[in-house]
Amino acid sequence: MSSVIHTSCDAAAASAMKSISTVRYPKLVLAATILASGLAFVDGSVVNVGLPAIQKSLHASAGDLQWIVNAYLLPLSALLLFGGAAGDRFGRRLLLILGIALFAVSSIVCAIAPNLFWLLFGRTMQGIGAAILMPNSLAILGASFSGEARGRAIGIWAAMGAVVGAAGPVIGGWLIDEVGWRAIFLVNMPLAIGAILLALGFIQEPRGAPEKQSLDFAGGILATLALGALTWGLTIGSGHRGWTPTAELALTAGVVLSAIFIWLEKIRGELALMPLTLFSSKSFVGLSLLTFLLYGALGGLLVLLPYVLIEVGKYSGTQAGAALLPFPLVLALTSPAMGALAGRTGSKLSLAIGPLIVAAGFLLLLRIGAKANYWTDVLPGLLIIAVGMAGAVAPLTTAVLTSVDARHTGSASGLNSALARTGGLVATALLGAVLAATGANIVGKFHSAAIAGAAISTAASLSAFGLIRNNKA
């Protein structure tokens, strides 16, 4: 389901690309990009449903569960921009194939992992593979089409993301129930093989040597270390051990590394992984805050809700996956109408009101208890959150692309996509208290998390009201 809430940010990255050529087999190129992106989409959709089964199988703690999610999100968030820059330097087709291959091999490692260490290692490698394949898949998609054809291609790609988001948790839950949690990693293999074969056969690099763009290796390493230290500190601090000296030291190290990263990016100027000139736009600052906060709130929900339904509601994996099904369906069905409304009224109003509707949906989830009825206690909140998200994500693509000058659209859209993942990374690191709870205490902790989600969504709305200028499509 995470695939659906990220498609707007990712679509902006594809839309920002310059067309490089007319491809000979456009449908097969589109199929290759869909299969490649589908690897990351499927993985993000099914692993959350599998957390309770993995916990029992590997005797994992609450902190371990957080790292099962964040071992993937951390390299993906930190290296997404670096993966795109590497494609510009060495060739997008080559990097796409390497990313897919790494993701596939890492999925096998996860599937056969004998213990938690190897599962976390595999998840980390999956995140690195996704950070390589995702931006290059989107770059190839955006560059291979132009005009109306590009709009149709991106629309088809986004629609397929919605299909995966809808089907992934249900199929993953069924596999967990019938085969075991290891099977959810093996379903990646057919997608990977198909994507590599299509890329080898039908994707072509533009004529001439790849652009010799300078790679910000130091920036990529510092971003990863900073996010890793912050995530480690927040994970320890939110767990049962609380804010120990280790947690405080990790957070301090994260803050210091973040400051060094920002200083380095300032020195590198336009060659930086994250050009600081982007933040001279007040609207881009507002969009960045909105993306980080809103996608963070949703990322936390997507981890917690299936966990609570399985652990407290005694849902099977299939039932927990099916319980989430209305969210991506409603989001996909209502987004076009919300986008059209934003085109008439301007993006600011939709981006400000959408998160407030999401906040109301979080508060409705307070009805969930030990014996919650799905139709009256779970579904209404999910539906309201989906409608609110549609109001926010539909105009997000246009808002991001128009918040900066033309030469920075690629960097802006890529950074916005990375921030969406970073929001989920930080939110998951803060879920220790809920995941460590047992019995009836899980419900109370979940309620606290839902209230926090409502507050964060409201803060996202305030950032839109105060910082984003109104743009009509």
Distance of alpha carbon 468 from its chain centroid, rounded?
22
Query: In whole angstroms, what is the distance from residue 24 CA to residue 26 CA?
Result: 6
pLDDT attached to residue 52: 93
Query: In whole angstroms, what is the distance from residue 122 CA to residue 36 CA?
Result: 18
pLDDT attached to residue 206: 65
Can you spell out the DSSP letters for 198-232?
HHHHH--PPSSPPP-PPP-HHHHHHHHHHHHHHHH
Task: At 23, list the tokens.
Answer: 């491809």
pLDDT tens, position by position, 323-347? 988 888 888 788 777 777 777 777 8
Q: Given a cut of 50, is residue 306 above it in pLDDT?
A: yes
pLDDT attached to residue 394: 75
Q: Given a cut of 90, is residue 24 above it in pLDDT?
A: no
DSSP state of 468: P
At residue 26 the predicted structure's pLDDT band, cuts being 50, 70 and 90, is confident
At residue 160 the predicted structure's pLDDT band, cuts being 50, 70 and 90, is confident
Span 27-32, average pLDDT = 90
At residue 286 the predicted structure's pLDDT band, cuts being 50, 70 and 90, is very high
pLDDT tens, position by position, 133-146? 998 888 888 788 87
Q: Given a cut of 60, is residue 2 above it in pLDDT?
A: no
> Letter for the amino acid at 50?
G
Q: In whole numbers, what is the pLDDT of the chain averaged over residues?
A: 87
CA distances from 232 to 224, 237, 412, 456, 463 (A): 12, 9, 27, 21, 27
Q: Given a cut of 70, is residue 8 above it in pLDDT?
A: no
User: What is the model's pTM?
Assistant: 0.90
Span 230-236, average pLDDT = 91
CATH class label, 2-205+273-467: mainly alpha
Q: Given a cut of 90, is residue 296 above it in pLDDT?
A: yes
pLDDT attached to residue 185: 93
Which has the higher per-residue pLDDT, 337 or 56?
56
At residue 358 the predicted structure's pLDDT band, cuts being 50, 70 and 90, is very high
> Which H or E run contains 6?
helix 2-15
CA atoms within 13 A on the CB side of 156: 18
Q: What share of the chain is helix, strand, coil (3-state, %, to 5)?
A: 85, 0, 15
At residue 473 the predicted structure's pLDDT band, cuts being 50, 70 and 90, is very low
Question: In sequence order, what are the residues at sequence separation of 6 or more whose Cβ sits closer than 8 angstroms to the Cβ of residue 100?
Answer: 36, 39, 129, 133, 192, 195, 196, 199
Q: Given a cut of 80, is residue 147 above it in pLDDT?
A: no
pLDDT tens, position by position, 419-444? 989 999 999 999 988 888 887 789 99
pLDDT attached to residue 375: 94
At residue 16 the predicted structure's pLDDT band, cuts being 50, 70 and 90, is low
- The domains of the chain are located at 2-205+273-467, 217-272
Span 237-242, average pLDDT = 78
CB 235 within 8 A of CB 70: yes
Can you spell out the DSSP letters for 389-419?
HHHHHTTHHHHHHHSS-GGGHHHHHHHHHHH
pLDDT attached to residue 405: 81
pLDDT tens, position by position, 60-86? 988 899 999 999 999 999 988 888 888
Three-state SS across 80-103? HHHHHHHHHHHCHHHHHHHHHHHH
pLDDT attached to residue 11: 63
pLDDT tens, position by position, 103-132? 999 999 999 999 999 999 999 999 999 999
pLDDT attached to residue 4: 58
Q: Among residues 65, 61, 12, 3, which one has the least CA distance to residue 34? A: 3
pLDDT attached to residue 41: 79
